[in-house]
A and B are shown apart, each in its own frame.
Chain A
Amino acid sequence: QKEVEQNSGPLSVPEGAIASLNCTYSDRGSQSFFWYRQYSGKSPELIMFIYSNGDKEDGRFTAQLNKASQYVSLLIRDSQPSDSATYLCAVYDFYNQGGKLIFGQGTELSVKP
């Protein structure tokens, strides 16, 4: 059974610090990885996607992918209280032609002022 694992947290960091969110996946054939942010009571919002090994940076966010170790991470630099949310890691089901995403259970991030 294909799985995506995240530490549910909560992860608490002080304002201005780097928040590191991790995700592992079970399907070695997976090729596409996504990070979504979900505020309480709201729907998920796409933050980053990454397809290739290495780092991808977008503003304060950096996604890191290591296919050999089957993990993907999200770094948030200069964390702000407004970053407090649940972060969902998602991986495409490689064998599903319909493009189904497999989500982790999410990591709750709390940034303390």
Chain B
Amino acid sequence: GAVVSQHPSRVICKSGTSVKIECRSLDFQATTMFWYRQFPKQSLMLMATSNEGSKATYEQGVEKDKFLINHASLTLSTLTVTSAHPEDSSFYICSANKDRGRNQPQHFGDGTRLSIL
């Protein structure tokens, strides 16, 4: 069964709206979660690493003020796309490691398809 839950699965909203996406680990604690973005016909692009109790680590070129990440508990990380514009329309996916230790597989949520009109 699913080990990572992501909500909502789809969002359609007007330009300028802020959108919050939730990522939850099911039945395990995730000190680290990851946020990806994927445009059509392209591979996954890591946006940031979300660390419980501390600031997220953003990849080069990702605006931290645009994409706010909060990892307030060991089972929940949120990504807020602030003042979203049509170019932010994409497929956003989170992931987490179920098992402790390095080199463990990442399990992905079902993703959130964001469409900004």
Contact = CB atoms under 8 A, between A and B. Distances in A.
A106 B43 contact: yes
Main secondary structure of the interface of B (DSSP, over half): strand
Nearest to B101: A99
Given A44-B93, A92-B102, A100 B43 contact: no
Interface in B17-60: 32, 34, 42-44, 46, 49, 51, 57
Contacts of B51: 98
Contacts of A34: 105-106
Interface residues of B, number: 24
A45 B102 contact: no
B110 A42 contact: yes
Interface in A74-113: 88, 90, 92, 97-101, 103-106
Given A43-B111, A44-B93, A98-B51, A88 B44 contact: yes
A99 B105 contact: no
A45 B109 CA distance: 9
Interface in B57-77: 57
A70 interface: no
B46 A31 contact: no
Contacts of A44: 44, 93, 108
Interface centre among A36, A45, A97, A100 (most CB of B within 10 A): A100
Interface of B: 6, 32, 34, 42-44, 46, 49, 51, 57, 91, 93, 97, 102-111, 113
